[in-house]
Chain A
Amino acid sequence: MAVTKHTLVALVEDRPGALSRVASLFRRRGFNIESIAVGHTETPHLSRMTITVDGATTAVEQVRKQLDKVVDVVKVVDITAENLVARDLALIKVKATPATRGEILQIVDIFRANIVDVASDSIIVEVTGDEDKVDSLFQLLRGFGIKEMARTGRLAMSRGPLGPLQGGGKDAPRGRGRKG
């Protein structure tokens, strides 16, 4: 089966309005974005956005090119075809009674997740991994009753020595700093 989920990484000038420019673009062009994660990078004044797009419903190449036209976007690369490390982090607050707590702890242990808060009738589980792992843990904990969940969306990085300004996806030569 062809991979339809694409991962785009955009390096964006850390200016007021940069995020709303990107968000506005997605809305206006009708792009369907599955997740977007934003944070600082190794370079001051640059933010990194990791965007996942379902290629079955959205023309990913158009997303990449339109993103690249945003003046605050310094570079955008589709890293889907690369050897990736992709991680999602979730905090899950799950109901825990004295009777169920032991079982929950076992599951958490199997998933190499962490307990980061314990209250009288609930605990907060912190899990990091690819989306499938987070999804599976969520499904298993669901039976106990989930009170709250927060997820970051995918963060991704290519394996190997190259940084984001040197590496690139399959279309990197056309994707570098090209504006219209």
Chain B
Amino acid sequence: MKLKGAEILCEALLKEGVETIFGFPGGALLPLYDTFPQYPQLRHVLVRHEQGAAHAAEGYARSSGKVGVCLATSGPGATNLVTGIANAYLDSSPMVAITGQVARPFIGKDAFQEVDITGITLPITKHNYMVMAVGDLAQVVQEAFHLARTGRPGPVLIDIPRDVFMEETTVSWPEKVNLSGYKPTLAGHPSQIKRAARAINEATRPVILAGQGVAISGAYDELRALAEQAQIPVITTLLGIGTFPESHVLSFGMLGMHGMAYANMAVDASDLVIAIGMRFDDRATGRVSGFAPKAKVVHIDIDPAEIGKNVRVDVPIVGDVKNVLKVLNKLVESGDRHEWVRQIEDWREEHPALWIRDGDDLIPQFVVRKIYEVTGGDAIIVTGVGQNQMWAAQHFYYDRPGSFISSGGLGTMGFELPAAIGAKIGSPQKTVWCIAGDGGFQMTLQELATAVQDRVAVKIAILNNGFLGMVRQWQELFHNKRYVGTELWGPDFVKLAEAYGIPGLRVTDRVRVTAAIEEAMAHDGPFLIDFKVEPEENVYPMVPPGASLGESMDAPKKRAEAPADSAKLPVSNI
């Protein structure tokens, strides 16, 4: 039987287990949209801007573990996806982005809404395709999903000309994917694993640095077994949050620029770093030349190119984290490292990073802590980028993989609302809180309409400080408090929500925080709370740019005591 290209695409998506597509139609996609009514199993979520489609697909992927799918028309539709694709690339999220293209005879003619999207996305996709023959479509879709979800996951783009959707062919479904240039290494090299085990058994001050690779690999239990068996403190990266229960006695929070001081000190003093499914991002390592100066480094990652890229590695292990840990755990001896653990606990006593100061003023840390208390920690938190992201990472305690969804590598403001919508659709039984700043929220707030139209019950907490807070913090600390371009007027967010048909509340003091959160949770549908927080609150601890992890700064006791020489701190890589 002959099928049209559009039908082949829909059938292929169903074969890959796709249930939801985040999309926005357009001329080049008309033949595809015309086919959707034949496939009611595919839910199409209409976004208000294609960037929202890409972020929603990523939020969906990270909350469900499935491949997120976004869809945009040619030209501006395709270019609007770019930020979301780049975000998924840097955060290794499985995504397939499908774009319409002008009909084949028009390609290269600068036709209406033509853009070279495969060229544009070359450096931000794991791979991309332009389908020039309808006979290739079935195989391309299968390969794209295989590439997106296996190995180190990532976004794959498929560009399909309008006339390919309309062309008919007798489709033959390929049996299995055969890509001679793509064979991810899943099992770690046995002799390297042995070397790693020996290094662990000999170490007196080891730390585990757990990254998102642990979540992607589903190695939550294996990580916990390793830590408990050998009594190794576990520290996570930003995206590694939730891969090890933060309520565990061996959990010492997050490392990095706004990591816990005691976590950074532990890395600094360690004699062995066991890096698992993480990539030594500069925000995690601080100054690389001063990173863990006394430590040997064991690095487990599925991507061989990550090993030795930023940090010198003594024991490299390429493989899937779960597979590697299963073998490694058999070789690791039980250890008693209570002196080392107690040392880090002492540092925690001395540097209570997560202490929330008393007072009546509404501070953002207090809001995040109350969301934790009201939800009992049983929620998915999706954040924006900047101060709100760091407070959400620090003051909520995460015990499950996938409970913290954030834009790590690219740092995309505006990620929060569409990603939260996608996360809620991916895990409908979960409570999803979108923790936003007033800056990032204004970048993609048009997706409120998507939440209403598709009945997506996201709860939105805006930590509204009237500033682009993280940039303001840097201006305060490193540019003599010259606030340039960071004071931020915003609309009345409660009225704005009302205009979208979403109930909202404004909270200006601590007393009303809990009741507002409870009201939001009790409401069956999207809900927005505008928390008017202290405008000039800073995120601490902080490793100043250019400093090493050992030079973490605690919050000043009072604001007036901010380090006088802070303007002299080295500035690099803003």
Contacts and interface: CB of A to CB of B under 8 A. Distances in A.
Interface stretch (A31-39, A69-77, A96-104, A114-122): A69-77
A20 B181 CA distance: 16
Contacts of B183: 177-179
B304 A68 contact: yes
Contacts of B420: none
B137 interface: no
Nearest to A45: B180
B70 to A, nearest CB: 20
B185 interface: yes
Contacts of A82: none
Given A71-B182, A74-B181, A178 B304 contact: yes
Contacts of B130: 16-17
B563 interface: no
Contact of A71 (B152, B181, B302, B318): B181
Interface string B168-187: 00000000000111111100
A24 B119 CA distance: 9
Interface string B299-343: 001111110110000000010000000000000000000000000
Contact of B303 (A61, A69, A75): A69
A62 B309 contact: yes
Contacts of B119: 20
A65 B305 contact: yes
A158 interface: no
Contacts of A180: 151-152, 184-185, 301-306, 318
A59 to B, nearest CB: 8
A71 B122 CA distance: 12
Contacts of B123: 24-25, 28
Contact of B122 (A13, A20, A66): A20
Given A21-B122, A28-B123, A71-B127, A179 B308 contact: no
A16 B152 CA distance: 24
Nearest to B128: A17
Nearest to B132: A16
A174 interface: yes
A74 B184 contact: no
Contacts of A177: 180-181, 183
Most buried by B among A24, A28, A62, A69: A69
B126 interface: yes
Nearest to B143: A71
A115 B185 CA distance: 52
A25 B125 CA distance: 12
Given A71-B127, A174-B304, A179 B122 contact: no
B468 interface: no
B446 interface: no
Contacts of A69: 303, 305
A73 B151 CA distance: 16
B181 A65 contact: no
Contacts of A70: 181
A13 B304 contact: no
B118 A17 contact: yes
Contacts of A174: 304, 318
19 contacts: A12-B181, A16-B130, A17-B118, A28-B123, A61-B308, A62-B305, A62-B308, A68-B305, A69-B305, A70-B181, A71-B179, A71-B181, A71-B182, A73-B181, A74-B181, A178-B185, A179-B183, A179-B185, A180-B304
Interface of A: 12-13, 16-17, 20-21, 24-25, 28, 61-62, 65-66, 68-75, 174, 177-180
